Amino acid sequence: MALTKKQFDVLEALAVSKSALSQRALEKLTGHSLGTINRTVKELTDARLITDGQISNAGFDALEPYRARRAIFIAAGFGSRLVPITFNTPKPLVRVHGVRIIDHLIDACLAAGINEIIIVRGYLAEQFDQLLYKYPMIRFIENPAYNEANNISSALVARYMLSNAYVFEADLLLSNPGIIRKYHYSSDFLAIRTPRTDDWCFTVKDGIITEEKVGGVDCWQMVGISYWDETDGHRLSQDIADVYVSPGGKERYWEQVPLVYAKDHYAVAVRECFADDIVEIDTFRELKAIDPTYNV
């Protein structure tokens, strides 16, 4: 059965908890009112998606269309702002406190049951082979245009794999793996609510991203992690190709396709995370501040 958003939220909370939850606990986890929780739990119980307060096998089956099936890592770029360390090492493979940046992201995907891992590589591509010792399930896609186009060229070579898929910037240092979720009701983009930022950010209305821009007040700072449902993934395969061949298309960032240039085709939700959950290390100075072993 197709689920309403409220039904999905309750079932997802029960699936993640793997145990029965009180209606007060469901209220806190989902953000819905206690009355809404009461009605929704009754609906799901009557449909046998909940049994004795726990999600049933039928409930898990109902969540299956909303499950994240693969993760695509955009990892082809040079990482110029992290020189000199990126002269010899792709940024996602840089170690912070002894662990490669990308490992935290891959581990979070595997913990969420996302076992199809795809890495789009370009700069120093052969160095990514080292990941296969720890993650033999990884598949690589080569981006031959990484040095002459922006990251839309990486999305282009992976465009047929975007349905039910996470897309990651592969250079994000993750500290809270719980933000990588197994189930999603619709396409969404992670962002941090902020009073002011000079970085890439979103304007949001009723939970839907209406604008992407650089710098803003009372906005949502973009985090380079997004999820695309089956329908939007199929749309993206065509829209990415169309924008890429348009005038100036090779200079675009890939997420500008659904958020700017073909925005009328999408209704992308914002999903909140927090500054402590994840950080993008932009410069070598920031890397040294996080990991003093680079102060040599």
Note the pLDDT of residue 95.
Answer: 94
Weakest-pLDDT range from 23-27, 100-104, 211-215, 251-255:
23-27
**Residue linked to tokens 């010899």:** 88
Average pLDDT, integer, range 147-155: 95
At 42, phi and psi to the nearest 5?
Answer: -65, -45
pLDDT band at 224 (very low <50, low <70, confident <90, very high): very high
Note the pLDDT of residue 294.
Answer: 86
Average pLDDT, integer, range 1-23: 90
Percent of the chain residues past pLDDT 70, beyond the cut? 100
In this model, does residue 81 exceed pLDDT 80?
no
Note the pLDDT of residue 281.
Answer: 84
Tokens of 121: 């590589």
Instruction: Write the DSSP symbol of residue 67.
Output: B
The partner residues of 200 in beta bridges, in order of sequence, read 214
| 3-state SS class at 71 | strand
Note the pLDDT of residue 295.
Answer: 82
Note the pLDDT of residue 190.
Answer: 97
Tens-digit pLDDT profile for residues 236-245: 999 999 999 9
State how far the Cα of 74 lies from the Cα of 152, in Å rounded to an integer: 9
Note the pLDDT of residue 87.
Answer: 85
pTM of the predicted model as reported, rounded to 2 decimal places: 0.94
Note the pLDDT of residue 86.
Answer: 78
284, 85 contact by CB (below 8 A): yes
Cβ neighbors of 198 (< 8 A, separation 6 or more) are 214, 215
281, 287 contact by CB (below 8 A): yes
Mean pLDDT across the chain: 94
The residue that leads in pLDDT, 85 or 161, is: 161
Radius of gyration of the CA atoms of the chain, in A: 20
In this model, does residue 216 exceed pLDDT 80?
yes
Tokens of 88: 């010899």
The residue that leads in pLDDT, 14 or 1, is: 14
Note the pLDDT of residue 188.
Answer: 98
In this model, does residue 103 exceed pLDDT 80?
yes
Tokens of 237: 């395969």
